[in-house]
């Protein structure tokens, strides 16, 4: 048990301080190459409430690729401990490496691959001049297709390589679904990615995602999946390092390079820990943010243009009501911590 806790806390701590160390260098690079959007949402968002909250005022001078700090710090931390386990002939060092074929290969490479796709998206919106640079509807459909394709490959790996063919129903047991695990994962991955709209206020996404990954570190530890617990701890540490500089006023935004990789990784971890049906509780702020957008669109479509919220996602609705952005952010943080704790309890007592 002692070595398991060390295996989680040491990489987590290293990841946090490594992220803090890398951030000033990355920030200098971001500003030097002006890595922010060239087109504000104000230009195409005809809504007085949107102008009222002035959400777009920082988009044209704040870098949007801050997620690079998160996934690059995760990559370095993982490689440091993996290389040490190879170079140093010590049982303790060997055990502290958390990169393993049966637990962390898939989430590690899912994070990197998703982050690279997200970086491509960010670069299009930073340096592009086509309609895609405005993040129009057609480009969002292409992104959804990319996510679905990557999820298909992961789902195939789950079914054919890991033999995953069932999901755990809390308080009831395993439900065999066979090959349907593949389309089910695609649906969950797309739904989790849609929660990425939470990256709309300074510090909001960082605090929420850190809570989610911290909860999965605890859940994986309870499942005796120590490598996954360590990996989630590392992600938490790097996300908190990002948050250190993302607290208002934000030095940078997470961007798609952070959101895309992290949200798909959440879905992957949920399947590996067999907690996918409790994921909506653990990631409740993501569900609320994504659900508010869906409800807003449905209301406008089926109620002759009438809206449920002043703005969607819902955190902008609260801003439009007059809440300061920092109050919205901190209340979402509180909700995220509470939902994560409830999720952990449900996982433990439902086994």
180 secondary structure, DSSP code: G
Write the DSSP assignment of 240-281 as a string of letters: HHHHHHHSSSPSS--HHHHHHHHHHHHHHHHHHTT-TTTHHH
Q: How far apart are CA 28 and CA 15, in angstroms?
A: 20
Out of 46-55, 269-278, 318-327, least confident range: 46-55
For the chain, where are the E strands, in sequence order? Answer: 166-169, 173-176
pLDDT tier for residue 296 given thresholds of 50, 70 and 90: very high
Phi-psi region of 255 (alpha: psi -120 to 50; beta: other; left: phi over 0): left
**275-294: per-residue pLDDT in tens?**
999 999 999 999 999 999 99
* Residue 182: both structure tokens together: 């593949």
Question: Residue ranges per domain, the chain?
Answer: 2-349
- Smallest CA-to-CA distance from 81 within 21, 23, 18 is with 18
The H or E element containing residue 174 is: strand 173-176
73: number of CA atoms within 13 Å, CB side? 33
The H or E element containing residue 122 is: helix 105-127
- Asked if the model's pLDDT at residue 18 lies above 70, the reply is yes
**70-95: per-residue pLDDT in tens?**
999 999 999 999 998 888 776 666 57
Most confident among 28-32, 206-210, 297-301 (mean pLDDT) = 206-210
**43-61: per-residue pLDDT in tens?**
445 566 665 665 445 566 7
Q: How far apart are CA 304 and CA 282, in angstroms?
A: 35
pLDDT cut 90: percent of the chain above it:
66
Q: How far apart are CA 54 and CA 124, in angstroms?
A: 24
* Residue 61: both structure tokens together: 């001078």
**5 in Cβ contact with 14 (< 8 Å):** no
pLDDT tier for residue 135 given thresholds of 50, 70 and 90: low
Residue 197: predicted pLDDT: 87
Distance of CA 78 to the CA centre of its chain: 18
Q: How far apart are CA 179 and CA 320, in angstroms?
A: 45
Residue 205: predicted pLDDT: 93
Residue 294: predicted pLDDT: 93
Q: How far apart are CA 213 and CA 5, in angstroms?
A: 16
Most confident among 248-257, 278-287, 321-330 (mean pLDDT) = 278-287
pLDDT tier for residue 39 given thresholds of 50, 70 and 90: low
Residue 155: predicted pLDDT: 95
Residue 125: predicted pLDDT: 83
- Asked if the model's pLDDT at residue 214 lies above 90, the reply is yes
Q: How far apart are CA 72 and CA 74, in angstroms?
A: 5
Residue 108: predicted pLDDT: 97
- Smallest CA-to-CA distance from 124 within 37, 252, 27, 26 is with 37
- Asked if the model's pLDDT at residue 314 lies above 90, the reply is yes
- Smallest CA-to-CA distance from 268 within 180, 178, 140, 181 is with 181
Q: Is 47 exposed, middle or buried (0-12, 13-18, 19+ CB in 10 A)?
A: middle
- Smallest CA-to-CA distance from 220 within 70, 104, 94, 338 is with 104
User: What SS3 class is residue 49?
Assistant: helix
């Amino acid at each position: 048990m002692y070595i398991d806790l060390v295996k989680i806390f040491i990489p987590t701590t290293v990841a946090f301080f490594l992220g803090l160390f890398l951030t000033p260098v990355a920030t200098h690079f971001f500003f030097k190459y002006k890595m922010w959007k060239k087109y504000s949402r104000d230009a195409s968002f005809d809504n007085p409430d949107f102008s009222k909250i002035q959400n777009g005022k920082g988009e044209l001078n704040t870098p949007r690729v801050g997620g690079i700090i998160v996934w690059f710090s995760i990559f370095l931390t993982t490689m440091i401990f993996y290389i040490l386990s190879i170079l140093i002939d010590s049982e303790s060092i060997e055990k502290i490496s958390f990169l393993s074929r049966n637990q962390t290969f898939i989430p590690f490479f899912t994070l990197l691959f998703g982050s690279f796709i997200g970086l491509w998206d960010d670069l299009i919106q930073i340096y592009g001049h086509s309609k895609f640079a405005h993040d129009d509807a057609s480009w969002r459909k292409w992104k959804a297709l990319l996510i679905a394709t990557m999820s298909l490959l992961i789902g195939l790996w789950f079914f054919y390589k890991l033999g995953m063919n069932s999901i755990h129903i809390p308080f009831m047991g395993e439900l065999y679904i066979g090959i349907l695990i593949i389309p089910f994962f695609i649906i969950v991955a797309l739904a989790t990615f849609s929660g990425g709209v939470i990256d709309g206020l300074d510090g909001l996404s960082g605090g929420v995602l850190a809570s989610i990954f911290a909860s999965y570190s605890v859940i994986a530890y309870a499942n005796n999946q120590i490598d996954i617990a360590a990996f989630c701890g590392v992600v938490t540490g790097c996300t908190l390092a990002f948050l250190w500089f993302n607290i208002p006023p934000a030095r940078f935004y997470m961007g798609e390079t952070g959101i895309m990789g992290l949200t798909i990784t959440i879905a992957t971890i949920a399947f590996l820990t067999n907690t996918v049906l409790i994921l909506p509780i653990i990631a409740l702020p993501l569900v609320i943010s994504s659900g508010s957008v869906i409800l807003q669109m449905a209301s406008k479509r089926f109620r002759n243009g009438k809206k449920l919220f002043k703005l969607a996602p819902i955190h902008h609705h609260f801003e439009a009501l007059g809440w300061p952005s920092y109050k919205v952010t901190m209340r979402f943080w509180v909700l995220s911590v509470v939902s994560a704790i409830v999720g952990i309890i449900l996982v433990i007592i439902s086994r």
